[in-house]
Structure 1
Amino acid sequence: MAACYETRHARGDALPTHRHREAYAALVLDGSYEENSVDGPLPSRPGVLLLHPPYHAHGNRFERSGARVINLVLPALDGVAQAQARLVPDLREAIAIFRHAPQRFAQLRAASTPCEPPQVPAWQRAFVEALGAGDRPIADLAREFGVSAAHASRALSLSHGMSPQALRRELRWRRALALLATPAPLADVAADAGFADQSHLTRVVRAHAGLPPSALRRRIGGIKCVQYAAAAAALQ
Protein backbone atom coordinates (compact mmCIF):
# COMPACT_ATOMS: atom_id res chain seq x y z
CA MET A 1 0.00 0.00 0.00
CA ALA A 2 1.20 3.52 -0.78
CA ALA A 3 2.72 5.42 2.15
CA CYS A 4 0.62 8.26 3.56
CA TYR A 5 1.88 10.83 6.08
CA GLU A 6 0.91 14.27 7.36
CA THR A 7 3.15 17.33 7.70
CA ARG A 8 2.52 20.59 9.59
CA HIS A 9 4.26 23.90 8.95
CA ALA A 10 4.11 27.08 11.02
CA ARG A 11 3.71 30.59 9.67
CA GLY A 12 7.03 31.82 8.36
CA ASP A 13 8.47 28.35 7.80
CA ALA A 14 10.39 27.73 4.60
CA LEU A 15 11.67 24.54 3.03
CA PRO A 16 14.66 25.17 0.76
CA THR A 17 14.81 23.41 -2.57
CA HIS A 18 14.75 19.66 -1.99
CA ARG A 19 14.15 16.57 -4.08
CA HIS A 20 11.82 13.58 -3.64
CA ARG A 21 12.99 10.43 -5.36
CA GLU A 22 9.50 8.94 -5.49
CA ALA A 23 6.44 10.32 -7.24
CA TYR A 24 3.99 11.72 -4.69
CA ALA A 25 0.86 13.78 -4.24
CA ALA A 26 0.28 16.43 -1.58
CA LEU A 27 -3.22 17.46 -0.48
CA VAL A 28 -3.56 20.76 1.40
CA LEU A 29 -5.87 20.34 4.42
CA ASP A 30 -5.73 23.88 5.82
CA GLY A 31 -3.63 27.01 5.58
CA SER A 32 -1.79 28.02 2.44
CA TYR A 33 1.68 28.24 0.97
CA GLU A 34 3.51 28.66 -2.31
CA GLU A 35 5.59 25.99 -4.01
CA ASN A 36 8.39 27.06 -6.35
CA SER A 37 10.33 24.99 -8.86
CA VAL A 38 11.62 25.03 -12.42
CA ASP A 39 7.93 24.71 -13.37
CA GLY A 40 7.20 28.10 -11.78
CA PRO A 41 5.10 28.98 -8.72
CA LEU A 42 2.10 26.85 -7.76
CA PRO A 43 -0.73 27.88 -5.39
CA SER A 44 -1.49 25.73 -2.38
CA ARG A 45 -4.71 26.21 -0.42
CA PRO A 46 -7.25 23.81 1.14
CA GLY A 47 -8.46 21.31 -1.43
CA VAL A 48 -5.50 21.75 -3.77
CA LEU A 49 -3.83 18.55 -4.93
CA LEU A 50 -0.17 18.93 -5.88
CA LEU A 51 1.27 16.25 -8.16
CA HIS A 52 5.03 15.65 -8.36
CA PRO A 53 6.88 13.31 -10.73
CA PRO A 54 9.84 11.29 -9.42
CA TYR A 55 13.02 13.25 -8.65
CA HIS A 56 11.23 16.61 -8.74
CA ALA A 57 13.03 19.45 -6.93
CA HIS A 58 11.06 22.28 -5.31
CA GLY A 59 10.95 24.63 -2.34
CA ASN A 60 8.05 25.85 -0.17
CA ARG A 61 7.27 29.12 1.62
CA PHE A 62 4.68 29.21 4.41
CA GLU A 63 4.34 32.95 4.80
CA ARG A 64 0.82 33.73 6.04
CA SER A 65 -0.89 31.09 8.12
CA GLY A 66 1.27 27.98 7.89
CA ALA A 67 -0.30 24.83 6.52
CA ARG A 68 -1.26 21.23 7.20
CA VAL A 69 -0.68 18.80 4.34
CA ILE A 70 -1.28 15.10 3.80
CA ASN A 71 1.14 13.35 1.45
CA LEU A 72 0.82 10.13 -0.52
CA VAL A 73 3.87 8.38 -1.97
CA LEU A 74 2.98 6.77 -5.29
CA PRO A 75 4.60 4.07 -7.43
CA ALA A 76 4.13 6.25 -10.51
CA LEU A 77 2.24 9.23 -11.93
CA ASP A 78 1.46 8.46 -15.54
CA GLY A 79 1.55 11.51 -17.79
CA VAL A 80 2.97 13.86 -15.13
CA ALA A 81 6.31 15.26 -16.32
CA GLN A 82 6.20 18.45 -14.22
CA ALA A 83 4.55 19.66 -11.03
CA GLN A 84 0.81 20.30 -11.26
CA ALA A 85 -1.78 21.91 -8.98
CA ARG A 86 -5.36 20.63 -9.20
CA LEU A 87 -8.50 21.24 -7.13
CA VAL A 88 -10.36 18.22 -5.74
CA PRO A 89 -14.18 18.28 -5.85
CA ASP A 90 -14.65 17.16 -2.22
CA LEU A 91 -11.90 17.62 0.37
CA ARG A 92 -13.35 15.11 2.86
CA GLU A 93 -13.59 12.40 0.24
CA ALA A 94 -10.07 13.17 -0.96
CA ILE A 95 -8.73 12.84 2.61
CA ALA A 96 -10.47 9.47 2.97
CA ILE A 97 -8.88 8.26 -0.27
CA PHE A 98 -5.42 9.36 0.85
CA ARG A 99 -5.74 7.68 4.24
CA HIS A 100 -7.82 4.59 3.57
CA ALA A 101 -8.19 3.91 -0.16
CA PRO A 102 -5.07 4.97 -2.10
CA GLN A 103 -6.04 2.48 -4.80
CA ARG A 104 -8.72 5.04 -5.74
CA PHE A 105 -6.19 7.82 -6.26
CA ALA A 106 -6.45 7.63 -10.07
CA GLN A 107 -10.18 8.34 -9.78
CA LEU A 108 -9.52 11.31 -7.49
CA ARG A 109 -6.96 12.71 -9.88
CA ALA A 110 -9.34 12.33 -12.83
CA ALA A 111 -12.12 14.15 -10.94
CA SER A 112 -9.87 17.10 -10.00
CA THR A 113 -9.57 20.24 -12.12
CA PRO A 114 -6.44 22.27 -12.99
CA CYS A 115 -5.69 25.34 -10.86
CA GLU A 116 -4.66 28.60 -12.46
CA PRO A 117 -1.00 29.18 -11.49
CA PRO A 118 0.20 32.58 -10.23
CA GLN A 119 1.18 34.85 -13.10
CA VAL A 120 4.84 35.58 -13.70
CA PRO A 121 6.23 38.17 -16.13
CA ALA A 122 6.48 36.91 -19.70
CA TRP A 123 10.23 37.52 -19.76
CA GLN A 124 10.70 34.99 -16.95
CA ARG A 125 8.99 32.21 -18.90
CA ALA A 126 11.07 33.01 -21.96
CA PHE A 127 14.23 33.28 -19.87
CA VAL A 128 13.75 29.82 -18.36
CA GLU A 129 13.10 28.35 -21.82
CA ALA A 130 16.32 29.96 -23.05
CA LEU A 131 18.23 28.52 -20.09
CA GLY A 132 17.20 25.04 -21.16
CA ALA A 133 18.02 25.63 -24.82
CA GLY A 134 21.77 26.10 -24.47
CA ASP A 135 24.71 27.41 -22.49
CA ARG A 136 24.68 31.10 -23.31
CA PRO A 137 26.05 33.23 -20.45
CA ILE A 138 23.41 34.37 -17.98
CA ALA A 139 24.45 38.00 -18.43
CA ASP A 140 23.89 37.75 -22.19
CA LEU A 141 20.43 36.26 -21.71
CA ALA A 142 19.51 38.91 -19.16
CA ARG A 143 20.60 41.65 -21.54
CA GLU A 144 18.51 40.10 -24.32
CA PHE A 145 15.39 40.17 -22.12
CA GLY A 146 16.00 43.71 -20.94
CA VAL A 147 16.98 43.02 -17.32
CA SER A 148 20.23 42.91 -15.40
CA ALA A 149 21.81 39.61 -14.40
CA ALA A 150 21.32 40.54 -10.74
CA HIS A 151 17.62 41.30 -11.26
CA ALA A 152 17.12 38.04 -13.18
CA SER A 153 18.72 36.10 -10.34
CA ARG A 154 16.59 37.78 -7.66
CA ALA A 155 13.34 37.48 -9.62
CA LEU A 156 13.78 33.84 -10.63
CA SER A 157 14.90 32.84 -7.15
CA LEU A 158 11.64 34.30 -5.83
CA SER A 159 9.28 32.86 -8.45
CA HIS A 160 11.05 29.58 -9.28
CA GLY A 161 13.01 28.99 -6.08
CA MET A 162 16.38 28.72 -7.84
CA SER A 163 19.01 30.92 -9.38
CA PRO A 164 19.39 30.93 -13.17
CA GLN A 165 22.38 28.58 -13.00
CA ALA A 166 20.51 26.18 -10.72
CA LEU A 167 17.50 26.28 -13.05
CA ARG A 168 19.75 25.44 -15.99
CA ARG A 169 21.15 22.45 -14.09
CA GLU A 170 17.65 21.30 -13.20
CA LEU A 171 16.49 21.55 -16.81
CA ARG A 172 19.55 19.56 -17.88
CA TRP A 173 18.73 16.91 -15.29
CA ARG A 174 15.11 16.73 -16.44
CA ARG A 175 16.20 16.21 -20.04
CA ALA A 176 18.57 13.46 -18.94
CA LEU A 177 15.69 11.71 -17.16
CA ALA A 178 13.62 11.81 -20.32
CA LEU A 179 16.49 10.49 -22.42
CA LEU A 180 17.21 7.68 -19.95
CA ALA A 181 13.74 6.36 -20.76
CA THR A 182 14.99 5.71 -24.30
CA PRO A 183 17.56 3.13 -25.49
CA ALA A 184 20.06 5.85 -26.44
CA PRO A 185 23.67 5.12 -25.39
CA LEU A 186 24.66 6.84 -22.16
CA ALA A 187 27.32 8.88 -23.94
CA ASP A 188 24.62 10.23 -26.27
CA VAL A 189 22.32 10.93 -23.31
CA ALA A 190 25.07 12.97 -21.67
CA ALA A 191 25.80 14.95 -24.83
CA ASP A 192 22.16 15.56 -25.77
CA ALA A 193 21.25 16.65 -22.22
CA GLY A 194 24.09 19.18 -22.14
CA PHE A 195 26.55 17.44 -19.80
CA ALA A 196 30.28 17.78 -20.33
CA ASP A 197 30.69 14.01 -20.73
CA GLN A 198 29.34 10.69 -19.48
CA SER A 199 31.27 10.98 -16.21
CA HIS A 200 29.55 14.30 -15.52
CA LEU A 201 26.17 12.67 -16.17
CA THR A 202 27.05 9.81 -13.81
CA ARG A 203 28.00 12.19 -10.99
CA VAL A 204 24.75 14.15 -11.29
CA VAL A 205 22.57 11.03 -11.54
CA ARG A 206 24.22 9.55 -8.45
CA ALA A 207 23.73 12.81 -6.54
CA HIS A 208 20.04 13.17 -7.46
CA ALA A 209 18.88 9.55 -7.65
CA GLY A 210 21.41 7.64 -5.56
CA LEU A 211 21.99 5.30 -8.51
CA PRO A 212 24.30 5.10 -11.53
CA PRO A 213 22.64 5.94 -14.86
CA SER A 214 22.27 2.29 -15.92
CA ALA A 215 20.44 1.40 -12.70
CA LEU A 216 18.25 4.50 -12.94
CA ARG A 217 17.36 3.52 -16.50
CA ARG A 218 16.18 0.12 -15.23
CA ARG A 219 14.18 1.78 -12.48
CA ILE A 220 12.50 4.12 -14.96
CA GLY A 221 11.58 1.07 -17.00
CA GLY A 222 10.06 -0.50 -13.88
CA ILE A 223 8.02 2.65 -13.24
CA LYS A 224 6.67 2.43 -16.78
CA CYS A 225 5.65 -1.19 -16.18
CA VAL A 226 3.73 -0.08 -13.08
CA GLN A 227 2.01 2.65 -15.10
CA TYR A 228 0.97 0.22 -17.84
CA ALA A 229 -0.30 -2.29 -15.28
CA ALA A 230 -2.33 0.42 -13.53
CA ALA A 231 -3.80 1.54 -16.85
CA ALA A 232 -4.75 -2.04 -17.76
CA ALA A 233 -6.37 -2.60 -14.36
CA ALA A 234 -8.44 0.57 -14.80
CA LEU A 235 -9.88 -0.83 -18.03
CA GLN A 236 -11.05 -4.08 -16.46
Structure 2
Amino acid sequence: MHAHTGFETRHDARDVLRTHRHDGAYAALVIDGSHLEASADGPIDCVPGTLVLHPRWHAHGNRFGRLGAKVVNLDLGGDLAGDALRVLRVHDAKEALAVFTRAPHRLSELIDACHAAPTPTLQPWQHAFLRELERGECDIASLANAAGVSLAHASRTFVASHGMPPQLLRRELRCRRALRLLAGGLPLAEIAATSGFADQAHLTRTLRAATGTPPSRLRQQIKSVQDAAGATALQ
Protein backbone atom coordinates (compact mmCIF):
# COMPACT_ATOMS: atom_id res chain seq x y z
CA MET A 1 0.00 0.00 0.00
CA HIS A 2 1.22 3.51 -0.74
CA ALA A 3 1.49 5.88 2.20
CA HIS A 4 1.33 9.05 0.14
CA THR A 5 -0.90 10.36 -2.62
CA GLY A 6 0.40 11.66 -5.92
CA PHE A 7 2.10 15.02 -6.30
CA GLU A 8 1.68 17.26 -9.32
CA THR A 9 4.43 18.83 -11.41
CA ARG A 10 3.87 21.51 -14.07
CA HIS A 11 6.24 22.28 -16.92
CA ASP A 12 6.32 25.31 -19.19
CA ALA A 13 6.02 25.20 -22.97
CA ARG A 14 9.22 24.05 -24.71
CA ASP A 15 10.92 23.32 -21.38
CA VAL A 16 13.84 20.89 -21.51
CA LEU A 17 15.04 18.70 -18.66
CA ARG A 18 18.46 17.25 -19.37
CA THR A 19 19.09 13.58 -18.66
CA HIS A 20 18.74 13.00 -14.92
CA ARG A 21 18.31 10.01 -12.65
CA HIS A 22 15.70 9.25 -9.99
CA ASP A 23 16.80 7.26 -6.96
CA GLY A 24 13.39 5.76 -6.33
CA ALA A 25 10.85 3.98 -8.52
CA TYR A 26 7.81 6.08 -9.42
CA ALA A 27 4.76 6.27 -11.66
CA ALA A 28 4.05 9.35 -13.80
CA LEU A 29 0.60 10.07 -15.24
CA VAL A 30 0.32 12.74 -17.95
CA ILE A 31 -2.80 14.87 -17.36
CA ASP A 32 -2.43 17.77 -19.81
CA GLY A 33 -0.03 18.82 -22.55
CA SER A 34 2.69 16.52 -23.79
CA HIS A 35 6.38 15.75 -23.67
CA LEU A 36 8.94 13.43 -25.18
CA GLU A 37 10.84 11.31 -22.68
CA ALA A 38 14.20 10.08 -23.98
CA SER A 39 16.21 7.33 -22.27
CA ALA A 40 18.07 4.12 -23.01
CA ASP A 41 14.60 2.64 -23.63
CA GLY A 42 14.12 4.95 -26.60
CA PRO A 43 11.75 7.88 -27.15
CA ILE A 44 8.36 7.87 -25.42
CA ASP A 45 5.58 10.13 -26.69
CA CYS A 46 3.90 11.14 -23.44
CA VAL A 47 0.42 12.42 -24.26
CA PRO A 48 -2.55 12.78 -21.87
CA GLY A 49 -3.45 9.37 -20.47
CA THR A 50 0.09 8.02 -20.67
CA LEU A 51 1.19 6.17 -17.53
CA VAL A 52 4.92 5.57 -17.21
CA LEU A 53 6.26 3.21 -14.54
CA HIS A 54 9.90 4.10 -13.92
CA PRO A 55 12.17 1.59 -12.17
CA ARG A 56 14.64 2.74 -9.56
CA TRP A 57 17.71 4.59 -10.89
CA HIS A 58 16.06 5.23 -14.26
CA ALA A 59 17.88 7.96 -16.22
CA HIS A 60 15.92 10.05 -18.74
CA GLY A 61 15.48 13.52 -20.17
CA ASN A 62 12.30 15.38 -21.13
CA ARG A 63 11.38 17.83 -23.90
CA PHE A 64 8.00 19.47 -23.37
CA GLY A 65 5.60 20.45 -26.13
CA ARG A 66 4.11 23.80 -27.11
CA LEU A 67 1.50 23.58 -24.34
CA GLY A 68 3.87 22.44 -21.64
CA ALA A 69 2.61 19.57 -19.48
CA LYS A 70 0.94 18.67 -16.20
CA VAL A 71 2.04 15.38 -14.68
CA VAL A 72 1.02 13.61 -11.47
CA ASN A 73 3.66 11.40 -9.86
CA LEU A 74 3.41 8.61 -7.31
CA ASP A 75 6.19 6.76 -5.53
CA LEU A 76 6.30 3.02 -6.22
CA GLY A 77 7.33 0.25 -3.88
CA GLY A 78 7.29 -3.52 -3.60
CA ASP A 79 6.28 -5.55 -6.63
CA LEU A 80 5.04 -2.48 -8.53
CA ALA A 81 8.54 -1.02 -8.77
CA GLY A 82 9.89 -3.64 -11.19
CA ASP A 83 13.29 -3.49 -12.87
CA ALA A 84 12.26 -2.29 -16.34
CA LEU A 85 10.41 0.69 -17.75
CA ARG A 86 6.72 0.16 -18.57
CA VAL A 87 4.69 2.56 -20.71
CA LEU A 88 0.91 2.21 -20.57
CA ARG A 89 -2.24 4.03 -21.65
CA VAL A 90 -5.10 4.43 -19.20
CA HIS A 91 -8.69 3.91 -20.33
CA ASP A 92 -10.16 6.75 -18.25
CA ALA A 93 -7.91 9.69 -17.42
CA LYS A 94 -10.25 11.09 -14.74
CA GLU A 95 -10.44 7.75 -12.96
CA ALA A 96 -6.66 7.38 -13.17
CA LEU A 97 -6.16 10.84 -11.68
CA ALA A 98 -8.51 9.95 -8.83
CA VAL A 99 -6.40 6.88 -8.05
CA PHE A 100 -3.22 8.95 -7.96
CA THR A 101 -4.66 11.73 -5.79
CA ARG A 102 -7.17 9.94 -3.54
CA ALA A 103 -6.72 6.17 -3.70
CA PRO A 104 -3.08 5.17 -4.37
CA HIS A 105 -3.77 1.73 -2.87
CA ARG A 106 -5.73 1.01 -6.08
CA LEU A 107 -2.75 1.63 -8.35
CA SER A 108 -2.24 -2.07 -9.10
CA GLU A 109 -5.89 -2.30 -10.25
CA LEU A 110 -5.36 0.72 -12.50
CA ILE A 111 -2.22 -0.81 -14.02
CA ASP A 112 -3.99 -4.11 -14.70
CA ALA A 113 -6.74 -2.24 -16.56
CA CYS A 114 -4.31 -0.35 -18.83
CA HIS A 115 -3.12 -1.34 -22.29
CA ALA A 116 0.44 -1.10 -23.58
CA ALA A 117 1.49 2.10 -25.32
CA PRO A 118 2.99 1.91 -28.83
CA THR A 119 6.64 0.91 -28.86
CA PRO A 120 9.23 3.57 -29.77
CA THR A 121 9.95 4.08 -33.46
CA LEU A 122 13.64 4.00 -34.35
CA GLN A 123 15.55 4.21 -37.59
CA PRO A 124 16.30 0.68 -38.91
CA TRP A 125 20.06 0.93 -38.39
CA GLN A 126 19.65 1.87 -34.73
CA HIS A 127 18.50 -1.59 -33.63
CA ALA A 128 21.73 -3.39 -34.53
CA PHE A 129 23.74 -0.42 -33.28
CA LEU A 130 22.07 -0.68 -29.86
CA ARG A 131 22.71 -4.43 -29.61
CA GLU A 132 26.39 -3.90 -30.35
CA LEU A 133 26.60 -0.99 -27.93
CA GLU A 134 25.52 -3.19 -25.04
CA ARG A 135 27.15 -6.49 -25.95
CA GLY A 136 30.04 -5.72 -28.27
CA GLU A 137 33.42 -4.07 -27.91
CA CYS A 138 33.67 -2.19 -31.23
CA ASP A 139 34.42 1.51 -30.99
CA ILE A 140 31.62 3.93 -31.81
CA ALA A 141 33.15 5.07 -35.11
CA SER A 142 33.29 1.45 -36.35
CA LEU A 143 29.67 0.89 -35.36
CA ALA A 144 28.61 4.01 -37.25
CA ASN A 145 30.58 2.88 -40.29
CA ALA A 146 28.96 -0.57 -40.18
CA ALA A 147 25.54 1.09 -39.94
CA GLY A 148 26.27 3.22 -43.00
CA VAL A 149 26.04 6.55 -41.18
CA SER A 150 28.58 9.13 -40.10
CA LEU A 151 29.76 9.34 -36.50
CA ALA A 152 28.21 12.81 -36.23
CA HIS A 153 24.87 11.57 -37.58
CA ALA A 154 24.86 8.62 -35.17
CA SER A 155 25.54 10.95 -32.24
CA ARG A 156 22.82 13.45 -33.24
CA THR A 157 20.29 10.68 -33.82
CA PHE A 158 20.82 9.01 -30.46
CA VAL A 159 20.81 12.30 -28.57
CA ALA A 160 17.42 13.03 -30.16
CA SER A 161 15.92 9.56 -29.57
CA HIS A 162 17.65 8.41 -26.38
CA GLY A 163 18.79 11.66 -24.79
CA MET A 164 22.49 10.80 -24.85
CA PRO A 165 25.28 10.14 -27.38
CA PRO A 166 26.35 6.54 -28.10
CA GLN A 167 29.26 6.45 -25.63
CA LEU A 168 27.08 7.51 -22.70
CA LEU A 169 24.30 5.24 -23.92
CA ARG A 170 26.73 2.29 -23.89
CA ARG A 171 27.62 3.05 -20.28
CA GLU A 172 23.95 3.32 -19.31
CA LEU A 173 23.05 0.01 -20.99
CA ARG A 174 25.92 -1.74 -19.21
CA CYS A 175 24.93 -0.21 -15.88
CA ARG A 176 21.41 -1.54 -16.35
CA ARG A 177 22.71 -5.01 -17.12
CA ALA A 178 24.89 -4.94 -14.03
CA LEU A 179 21.97 -3.80 -11.86
CA ARG A 180 19.86 -6.70 -13.13
CA LEU A 181 22.66 -9.16 -12.37
CA LEU A 182 23.09 -7.78 -8.86
CA ALA A 183 19.70 -9.31 -8.06
CA GLY A 184 21.37 -12.74 -8.31
CA GLY A 185 24.30 -14.30 -6.53
CA LEU A 186 27.10 -13.81 -9.05
CA PRO A 187 30.39 -12.45 -7.70
CA LEU A 188 30.99 -8.79 -8.50
CA ALA A 189 34.00 -9.60 -10.67
CA GLU A 190 31.84 -11.89 -12.82
CA ILE A 191 29.09 -9.27 -13.06
CA ALA A 192 31.70 -6.76 -14.22
CA ALA A 193 32.97 -9.07 -16.96
CA THR A 194 29.47 -10.10 -18.07
CA SER A 195 28.28 -6.47 -18.21
CA GLY A 196 31.20 -5.26 -20.32
CA PHE A 197 33.28 -3.50 -17.66
CA ALA A 198 37.07 -3.78 -17.62
CA ASP A 199 37.14 -5.16 -14.08
CA GLN A 200 35.39 -5.00 -10.72
CA ALA A 201 36.94 -1.62 -9.89
CA HIS A 202 35.57 -0.19 -13.15
CA LEU A 203 32.12 -1.55 -12.31
CA THR A 204 32.28 -0.05 -8.83
CA ARG A 205 33.35 3.38 -10.06
CA THR A 206 30.68 3.49 -12.76
CA LEU A 207 27.77 2.33 -10.60
CA ARG A 208 28.80 4.62 -7.76
CA ALA A 209 28.87 7.56 -10.20
CA ALA A 210 25.47 6.57 -11.65
CA THR A 211 23.60 5.79 -8.43
CA GLY A 212 25.70 7.25 -5.62
CA THR A 213 26.05 3.78 -4.10
CA PRO A 214 28.67 1.00 -4.50
CA PRO A 215 27.59 -2.39 -5.94
CA SER A 216 27.76 -4.26 -2.63
CA ARG A 217 25.27 -1.90 -1.03
CA LEU A 218 23.13 -1.79 -4.18
CA ARG A 219 22.84 -5.59 -3.96
CA GLN A 220 21.58 -5.28 -0.38
CA GLN A 221 19.03 -2.66 -1.40
CA ILE A 222 17.79 -4.76 -4.33
CA LYS A 223 17.41 -7.78 -2.04
CA SER A 224 15.44 -5.67 0.45
CA VAL A 225 13.05 -4.59 -2.29
CA GLN A 226 12.65 -8.20 -3.47
CA ASP A 227 11.98 -9.38 0.09
CA ALA A 228 9.39 -6.64 0.58
CA ALA A 229 7.66 -7.58 -2.68
CA GLY A 230 7.63 -11.25 -1.65
CA ALA A 231 6.15 -10.42 1.74
CA THR A 232 3.44 -8.32 0.08
CA ALA A 233 2.57 -11.16 -2.30
CA LEU A 234 2.06 -13.54 0.63
CA GLN A 235 -0.38 -11.23 2.41
**Structure 1 length normalisation: TM-score?**
0.93
Q: Is the contact made by 2:25 and 2:81 (CA closer than 8 Å) also made in structure 1?
A: no
- Write the distance in 2 (CA, Å) between the matches of 1:221 and 1:66: 38
Are the counterparts in 1 of residues 158 and 165 from structure 2 also a CA contact under 8 Å? yes
Deviation, structure 1 residue 205: 2.0
Between the aligned partners of 1:101 and 1:9, the Cα distance in structure 2 is: 25
Alignment check: 8 A CA contact 1:47 1:88 kept: yes
Q: Distance in 2 between matches of 1:110 and 1:117?
A: 18
Q: Look up the match of 1:110.
A: 112
For the aligned residues, what is the CA RMSD? 1.5
Structure 1 stretches lacking a partner, 5+ long: none
Query: In the aligned structure 2, how far is the partner of 1:45 from the partner of 1:209?
Result: 29
Structure-2 residue corresponding to 1:175: 177
Contact 1:33–1:62, Cα closer than 8 Å, also in 2: yes
Taking a change above 3 Å as real, the CA distance of residues 77 and 161 of structure 1, as seen in their structure-2 partners, is: farther
Q: Is the 8 A contact 2:55 2:81 kept in 1?
A: no
SS, match of residue 220 in structure 1: helix
Identify the residue that residue 85 of structure 1 maps to in structure 2: 87
Aligned identity (percent) is: 51
Aligned to 2:50: 48
**Deviation of residue 81 (structure 1)?**
3.5
Aligned residue in 2 for 1:27: 29
* SS of match in other structure, 1:136: coil
* Partner amino acid, structure 2, of 1:4: G
Query: How much does 1:120 deviate?
Result: 1.5
1: distance between equivalents of 2:169 and 2:5? 30
Q: Deviations over 1:25-65 (max 9, x none)?
A: 10001001110111101111111101111111110000321
Q: How many residues align?
A: 233
The aligned counterpart of 2:7 is 5
Name the counterpart of 1:224.
Answer: 226
Q: CA deviation at 1:82?
A: 2.9
Judge conservation of contact 2:53–2:81 (CA < 8 Å) in 1. Answer: no
Mark the runs of 5 or more structure 2 residues left unpaired by the alignment.
none
Question: Shift in Å at residue 77 of structure 1?
Answer: 4.9
Question: 1:61 corresponds to which residue?
Answer: 63
Amino acid at match of 1:219: Q
The Cα shift of 1:79 comes to 7.9
Give the deviation of 1:75 after TM superposition: 1.4
SS at match of 1:162: coil
Change (3 A) 1:79 1:2: closer
Which of 94, 97, 121 aligns to 1:95? It is 97
Distance 1:145 1:78 in 2: 38
Equivalent position SS for 1:8: strand
Write out per-residue CA displacement over residues 93-132 of structure 1, whole angstroms, 9 at most, x where no aligned residue.
1111112221111111111101113422111122111100
User: Residue 42 of structure 2 contacts residue 162 of structure 2 at CA under 8 Å; is this kept in 1?
Assistant: yes
Please show how residues 99-178 of structure 1 align to structure 2 within 5 Å.
99-178=101-180
CA distance in 1, matches of 2:32, 2:113: 20
Cα deviation for residue 4 of structure 1 reads: 2.6
- Assess, with a 3 A threshold, how the Cα gap between structure 1 residues 13 and 189 changes in structure 2: closer, same or farther: same
One-letter amino acid of the structure 2 residue matched with residue 10 of structure 1: D
